[in-house]
Structure formats: C-alpha cells, structure tokens
Amino acid sequence: MGRDRLLEPLITAADRALRAISGGAHATRPNPAGSLPSDLSDEDRRRAAALMRVNHAGEIAAQALYHGQALAARSGETRAWLLDAARAESDHLAWCEARLTELGSHPSRLAPLWYAGSFAIGALAAAFGDRASLGFVAETERQVEGHLDEHLSRLPAGDERSRAILREMRADESRHGANARAAGASSIPAPVRALMRQTARIMTGTAYWV
C-alpha cells in the first residue's frame, strides 16, 4: 500500500505529461477567435504560424511548470491552486494548437524537451517551499505578459484570430500572477529572474523555427 501511494502521483504526472505533448488538447472554454476573419498572405501566414508555434511551446512549458510544482507542493491547498491554473493553461494549449492547424503549420518538434525541462524547473522551484513556488509563478506570468505584448505587436495586421487568442491568454496570465501574489508569493532574487528570461529566450528563439 505504501508503494502504491508513492507511485500514484508519479503515474498521474506521467499521464499529464503525455496529454500535454501528444496533441489533441481539449479546451473547456470557447475559442476566443470565434468567427473572426483572418485574411493573410502566404508570407503573413508563415510569420503568424511561427509566432503561434512559440506560444504553443510556451503553453507546453506552462503545463509542465505547474505540474512539476504541484507534484512537489508542500500543502494540498497550493497543489490544488496550481492544478487549477494548469487547467486554464490547457485551454491556451488547445487554442494555440487549433490556430496552428488553421495556419497549416505544426507545433514545435521539441515539445517533449520543453516539457521535461520545464517540469524539472517547476519541481525545483517547489522544493524551496510553497511561497517560493508561488513567487516563481508570479514572476513567470509577469514575463509571459511581456512576451505576449511583444507578439501582439508582431502579428500580421490581418490576423485577428491569433490576436484574440493572445489577448485572452494575456488576461489569464495576469490573473494567475495576481492570484499567486495574493496567496503569499515571495519575491524572486534578481539573478533568478535574469536566468528565467535567458531560458525563455532560448526556448522561444528555437521554437520559432523548429
């Protein structure tokens, strides 16, 4: 029985990983793109697809971060909060995946790598305690908001469908960050914030092409 209790969270974590990286994500909310138009040239379509592939990779990483943090969370309340946030991020994953299909493109080929690395980072953050873990969430979401603002400005002018998705994602990220701070998030040291930014640059720069 003791071994079963030890294995159960690991099996659950593996199941979440497979669901995140295998494609076919399911959203619980309507796609913000709705029936908005999207009139793009071939060049604009390729550029929009590359940007949405980066955002899809970011949502793979977000799933992994939350799952890794939930696995190592100290309290049941923090674990439940993290998993609830992960479910919202799953909507983002589905919306980005659907938009990539519409654009005739594909997710990053390196999705398993993004997931594995982010899961390890999330679990490491949680190992420092729940307040540190929530602080990591708050800082991550702050950086993601900046990243989404940049992509909103870089999307082709006619791509209202992708733009609507990113705006909804940004609103969710802002709410997650605010909720983490309200739940007692501790501040993240400046060197860690810088390392997070550099890691994100490597992932987004690679996912744009691969």
Whether 63 has a pLDDT exceeding 70, the answer reads: yes
Cβ(89)–Cβ(37) below 8 Å: no
Closest listed residue to residue 152, CA positions, set 172, 176, 137, 170 = 170
* Interatomic CA distance for residues 70 and 12, integer angstroms: 11
Q: Stretch 90-118: mean pLDDT, rounded?
A: 93
Interhelix angle 160-182/42-72, nearest 10 degrees: 20
Give the pLDDT score at 9. 59
Confidence of residue 85 (pLDDT cuts 50, 70, 90): confident
* Interatomic CA distance for residues 109 and 165, integer angstroms: 22
Q: Stretch 124-128: mean pLDDT, rounded?
A: 92
Whether 18 has a pLDDT exceeding 90, the answer reads: no
Whether 110 has a pLDDT exceeding 90, the answer reads: yes
Helix (H, G, I), strand (E, B) or coil at 135: helix
Residues of the chain with pLDDT > 70: what percent? 89
Cβ(155)–Cβ(69) below 8 Å: no
Least confident of 49-53, 150-154, 167-171, 194-198: 194-198
* Interatomic CA distance for residues 134 and 125, integer angstroms: 9
Give the predicted TM-score (pTM) of the model. Answer: 0.89
- Domain at 48-207, CATH class: mainly alpha
Closest listed residue to residue 55, CA positions, set 107, 91, 14, 101 = 107
Cβ(97)–Cβ(56) below 8 Å: yes
Q: Stretch 105-133: mean pLDDT, rounded?
A: 92
* Interatomic CA distance for residues 184 and 187, integer angstroms: 10
- The structure tokens 């589905």 sit at 94
Tokens coding 95: 């919306």
